Amino acid sequence: MLIGYARVSTHDQNLDLQLDALLLKAGCEAKRIYKDTISGAKIERKGLDEALSHLRAGDTLVVWRLDRLGQTLKQLIELINDLQSREVGFRSLQENIDTTMPGGKLVFHIFGALAEFEREVIRDRTNAGLQAACAHGRLGGRPKALDDKKAALAGSLYASGEHSIKDICDTLHISRATLYKYVGKSQRGQDQ
């Protein structure tokens, strides 16, 4: 069974071109086409979620263009991998990609390899940056919220019981969680 998905980003845009392609070119039934009027960057897309929930093994999800399905290569690959794990095919009409055919599978394997390459390049750049910073005496990671002197002050203010948690946090410009981390106290019921 063919399940269609169409999306436009704003209410000013029109779904007609996509719907015509899904109905006439792909052969989807009108009742099996799900639609969204929302940016592709949004995580929650009700039309897409509904389309995905109706897909069963042997079905094919059809879109007019790849960018209607996801904004990034990573999103697309994750979605296509999910479909393949469920034994669901995928077709994109404009790009002539059909994962139910050997050529379409090859294209998505190439996309997957490119995405993996991109992740490795980012990881290598990050590691090189950290090594360069370390060579110049800088350490990576988040700096401590309190130095030893301020941590001791926090501990003594807390232990004295004369100051409210809010006052201690405001004085030291830290959150309650940070204060509890430094004083080794996880019990918050004593807040004044």
Residue pair 87/57 in contact by the 8 Å Cβ criterion: yes
Whether residue 74 is found in the same domain as residue 162: no
When mean pLDDT is compared across 17-21, 95-99, 124-128, 137-141, the lowest value belongs to: 137-141
Q: What's the pLDDT tens digit per position in 47-79?
A: 999 999 999 999 999 999 888 887 777 788 888
On the question of pLDDT at 31 being above 70, the answer is yes
| 61-77 burial: b if 16+ Cβ within 10 Å, else e | bbbbebbbbbeeeeebb
Assigned domain for 112 exists: no
Assigned domain for 137 exists: no
Whether residue 96 is found in the same domain as residue 8: yes
Query: What CATH number corresponds to the domain at position 48?
Result: 3.40.50.1390
Helices (H), the chain: 16-20, 46-54, 73-85, 102-135, 148-160, 165-172, 176-183
Assigned domain for 20 exists: yes
Q: Active site includes 53?
A: no
Residue pair 61/5 in contact by the 8 Å Cβ criterion: yes
Q: What percent of the chain has pLDDT over 70?
A: 93
Whether residue 87 is found in the same domain as residue 165: no
On the question of pLDDT at 11 being above 80, the answer is no
Whole-number pLDDT of residue 43: 67
> Once rounded to an integer, what is the mean pLDDT over residues 146-153?
89
Sorting pLDDT into bands at 50, 70 and 90, what band is 142?
confident
Whether residue 83 is found in the same domain as residue 169: no
Whether residue 91 is found in the same domain as residue 167: no
Assigned domain for 56 exists: yes
**Residue 8: φ, ψ to 5°:** -125, 155
Residue pair 168/158 in contact by the 8 Å Cβ criterion: yes
Q: Take residue 119 and report the two structure tokens written for it.
A: 């992740």
Whether residue 13 is found in the same domain as residue 78: yes
Domain boundary among 61, 83, 100: 100
Assigned domain for 190 exists: no
On the question of pLDDT at 40 being above 60, the answer is no
Assigned domain for 92 exists: yes
Whether residue 94 is found in the same domain as residue 154: no
**Residue 61: φ, ψ to 5°:** -90, 130
Q: What's the pLDDT tens digit per position in 93-119?
A: 988 889 888 888 888 778 778 777 887
For 37, the domain range is 2-100
Sorting pLDDT into bands at 50, 70 and 90, what band is 29?
very high
Assigned domain for 109 exists: no
With vertex at residue 49, the alpha carbon angle to CA 30 and CA 18, rounded to the nearest 5 degrees, is: 40
Domain boundary among 65, 81, 100: 100
Q: How many domains does the chain have?
A: 2
Whether residue 22 is found in the same domain as residue 84: yes
Residue pair 86/57 in contact by the 8 Å Cβ criterion: yes
Residue 55: which of 23, 77, 27, 79 has the closest Cα?
A: 79
Sorting pLDDT into bands at 50, 70 and 90, what band is 192?
very low
Compute the distance between CA of residue 170 and CA of residue 60 in angstroms, rounded to an integer.
Answer: 58
The single residue of 9, 92, 164, 186 carrying the catalytic annotation is 9
Whole-number pLDDT of residue 44: 77
Assigned domain for 10 exists: yes
Q: Model pTM?
A: 0.58
Whether residue 78 is found in the same domain as residue 156: no
Whether residue 7 is found in the same domain as residue 96: yes
Cα separations in angstroms, 162 against 147, 156, 179: 22, 10, 15
